[in-house]
C-alpha cells in the first residue's frame, strides 16, 4: 500500500504545462471491454486512484461503444475533486460503427463526449488510431478542426494515437509546429518492444509530450497470458509465456516487472494502464512506489530480456497500408 505521505511522481507533458501522474488510469475497462464492471466498482476505483495520487484519466467513445466515457463521467462526478486537479483525455475518429476523421464528425464528437463525461472541457482530445484513416486527411482536415475546438475552449490540447510509430513522424513533419501537443503510443515501450525510445529525441525536438500505453503489451506480459484475439505471432506469445513462467518460478510477477520497466523512462510522461478495480489501482501504484524506493529488479529483468531477445521489438500490422 502506498502511504499518503509519499505521492505518485508527476511528470511534465511536453510543452503543455500539464503535469501527469506517472501512472495513468486507462478507462477502457470501465466500458466492460474485459468483462462487466459495476458503476459502484468504477466509482470506487476512480476514488482510490485519486487517493493514491493518480490525476490522469484516459478514455474514448470507442471503448465499450461510449460506455467507458459514461462510466468515467459518473465516477469523476461522484468525487468532490476540483476540475483543475485532474487531467482527462478522450479521443475522436474511431467509433463502434467505424472510423470517421472528417471535420464534421470530430466536431460533433467532442460535444457528445463532453455530455457523456459531464464536463465543460477535456484537457486532451486525440485522433484515435490514425493508421486506419488517411494521414493526409488527419493533417489537412482533422487537426485544423481540433484547433478550432481548442479556440472554442472545448479542449485544451490536441493529440494523435496509433500503433505504427511511422504515423507520428508522418503527421508531425506536415503540421505547423505546436498544433499537435501530445502523442499516445501503445505496445512500443515494454520489455518485449522498446522501439518508442528511438522516437523520443524527435518528439522532444517537436515539443510533443509522450504518453505510453499497454505496458503489459495487451496481456502478453501477464501471468494469465493474452486474450484469444491478440494479434502477436505465436513465436512472440510463447516467448512471453516462457518469460512469465520464469518469473513465477522465481516468485516474481512479470506484470509488476513490466510496469516498472515502462515507468523507469522519465521521458515518458505517463504510463497508461487499464484499471477497473481498487486492487488493480493499488497494485499499479505500489509498483511505481516500489520503483521509486528500491529501483527495478535488474537481475530478473535481464533474465527476462534474455528469454525475449529472439523476439525483441517484434510487432504486428495495424491499419490500412499507407502509400
Question: Rounded to an integer, what distance in angstroms lies between the CA atom of residue 113 and that of residue 272?
Answer: 20
DSSP letters, 53-70, are T--EEE--TTTTTTHHHH
Q: Which residues pair with 160 in a beta bridge?
A: 127, 183
User: Catalytic residue at 63?
Assistant: yes
Q: Name the active-site residue from 62, 63, 86, 261.
A: 63
Task: Give all strands (DSSP E) within the chain, no chain letters.
Answer: 10-12, 19-21, 23-26, 56-58, 87-92, 94-95, 98-99, 122-127, 155-162, 182-186, 209-213, 270-274
Which residues belong to the active site?
63
Amino acid at each position: 500500500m502506498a502511504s499518503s505521505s509519499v505521492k505518485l511522481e508527476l511528470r511534465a507533458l511536453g510543452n503543455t504545462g500539464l503535469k501527469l501522474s506517472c501512472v495513468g488510469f486507462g478507462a477502457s475497462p470501465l466500458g466492460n471491454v474485459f468483462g462487466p464492471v459495476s458503476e459502484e466498482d468504477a466509482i470506487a476505483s476512480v476514488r482510490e486512484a485519486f487517493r493514491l495520487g493518480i490525476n490522469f484519466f484516459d478514455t474514448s467513445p470507442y471503448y465499450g461503444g461510449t460506455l467507458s466515457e459514461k462510466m468515467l463521467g459518473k465516477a469523476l462526478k461522484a468525487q468532490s475533486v476540483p476540475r483543475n486537479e485532474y487531467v482527462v483525455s478522450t479521443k475522436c475518429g474511431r467509433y463502434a460503427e467505424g472510423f470517421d476523421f472528417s471535420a464534421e464528425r470530430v466536431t460533433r464528437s467532442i460535444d457528445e463526449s463532453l455530455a457523456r463525461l459531464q464536463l465543460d472541457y477535456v484537457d486532451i482530445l486525440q485522433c484515435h488510431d490514425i493508421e486506419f484513416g488517411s494521414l493526409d486527411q488527419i493533417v489537412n482536415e482533422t487537426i485544423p478542426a481540433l484547433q478550432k475546438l481548442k479556440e472554442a475552449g472545448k479542449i485544451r490540447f490536441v493529440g494523435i494515437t496509433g500503433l505504427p510509430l511511422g504515423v507520428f513522424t508522418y503527421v508531425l513533419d506536415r503540421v505547423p509546429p505546436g498544433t499537435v501537443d501530445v502523442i499516445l503510443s501503445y505496445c512500443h515501450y515494454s520489455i518485449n518492444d522498446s522501439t518508442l525510445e528511438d522516437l523520443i529525441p524527435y518528439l522532444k525536438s517537436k515539443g510533443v509530450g509522450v504518453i505510453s500505453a499497454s505496458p503489459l503489451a495487451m496481456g502478453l506480459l501477464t501471468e494469465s497470458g493474452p486474450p484469444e484475439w491478440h494479434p502477436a505471432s505465436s513465436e512472440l506469445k510463447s516467448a512471453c509465456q516462457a518469460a512469465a513462467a520464469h518469473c513465477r518460478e522465481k516468485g516474481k510477477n512479470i506484470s509488476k516487472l513490466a510496469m516498472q520497466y515502462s515507468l523507469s523512462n522519465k521521458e515518458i510522461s505517463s504510463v497508461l494502464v487499464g484499471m477497473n478495480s481498487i486492487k488493480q489501482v493499488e497494485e499499479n501504484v505500489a509498483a511505481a512506489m516500489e520503483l521509486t524506493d528500491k529501483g527495478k529488479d535488474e537481475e530478473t529483468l535481464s533474465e527476462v530480456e534474455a528469454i525475449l531477445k529472439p523476439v525483441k521489438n517484434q510487432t504486428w500490422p495495424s491499419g490500412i497500408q499507407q502509400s
